[in-house]
Amino acid sequence: MTGTFPSTRLRRTRASAWSRALHRENHLRPDDLIWPLFVTQGTQIEEPIATLPGVSRWSVDLIGSRAKEAASLGIPCVALFPNTQPERRSEDGAEALNPDNLMCRAVRAIRDAVGDDVGVLTDVALDPYTSHGQDGLVDAAGYVLNDATVEVLVGQALNQASAGADIIAPSDMMDGRISAIRAGLEAEGYVNVQIMSYAAKYASAFYGPFRDAVGSSGLLKGDKKTYQMDPANAEEALREVAIDLAEGADSVMVKPGLPYLDIVRAVKERFEVPVFAYHVSGEYAMIEAAVAVGIGEREPLVMETLLAFKRAGCSGILTYHAQFAARLLNG
Ligand code: PBG
Locate the domains of the chain by residue range.
27-329
Ligand 1 centroid from CA 207, angstroms = 6
**Any idea which fold 27-329 has?**
TIM Barrel (3.20.20)
* Mean pLDDT score across all residues of the chain: 97
Residue owning the nearest CA to atom 8 of ligand 1: 207
Ligand 1 centroid from CA 4, angstroms = 56
Mean pLDDT confidence for 35-62: 97
For ligand 1, whether the C-beta of 281 sits within 6 Å is yes
Mean pLDDT confidence for 70-97: 98
For ligand 1, whether the C-beta of 123 sits within 6 Å is yes
pLDDT (0 to 100) of residue 170: 98
Mean pLDDT confidence for 27-36: 98
CA–CA distance, 57 with 55 (Å, rounded to integer)? 7
Q: What is the pTM of this model?
A: 0.97
Helices assigned H by DSSP within 207-321: 208-213, 235-246, 261-271, 281-292, 298-312
* Predicted confidence band of residue 218 (pLDDT cuts 50, 70, 90): confident
The answer to whether 162 and 156 are in contact (CB under 8 A) is: no
**Beta-bridge partner residues of 38:** 57, 81
- 93-137 pLDDT, tens digit each: 999 999 999 999 999 999 999 999 999 999 999 999 999 999 999
Can you spell out the DSSP letters for 85-128? -GGG-BTT-GGGG-TTSHHHHHHHHHHHHHTTSSEEEEEE-STT
- Give the percent of the chain with pLDDT over 70: 99
pLDDT (0 to 100) of residue 3: 80
Residues classed as catalytic: 201, 255
Mean pLDDT confidence for 9-32: 98
pLDDT at 64 exceeding the cut of 90? yes
For ligand 1, whether the C-beta of 207 sits within 6 Å is yes
For ligand 1, whether the C-beta of 125 sits within 6 Å is yes
- 190-208 pLDDT, tens digit each: 999 999 999 999 999 999 9
CB proximity list for 163: less than 8 A, separation 6 or greater: 99, 103, 104, 105, 107, 108
State whether residue 67 is helix, strand or coil: helix
Q: Which ligand 1 atom is the nearest neighbour of the CA of 228?
A: 9
Give the residue among 215, 221, 160, 164 at the shortest CA–CA distance from 38: 215
* Predicted confidence band of residue 2 (pLDDT cuts 50, 70, 90): low
- 243-267 pLDDT, tens digit each: 999 999 999 999 999 999 999 999 9
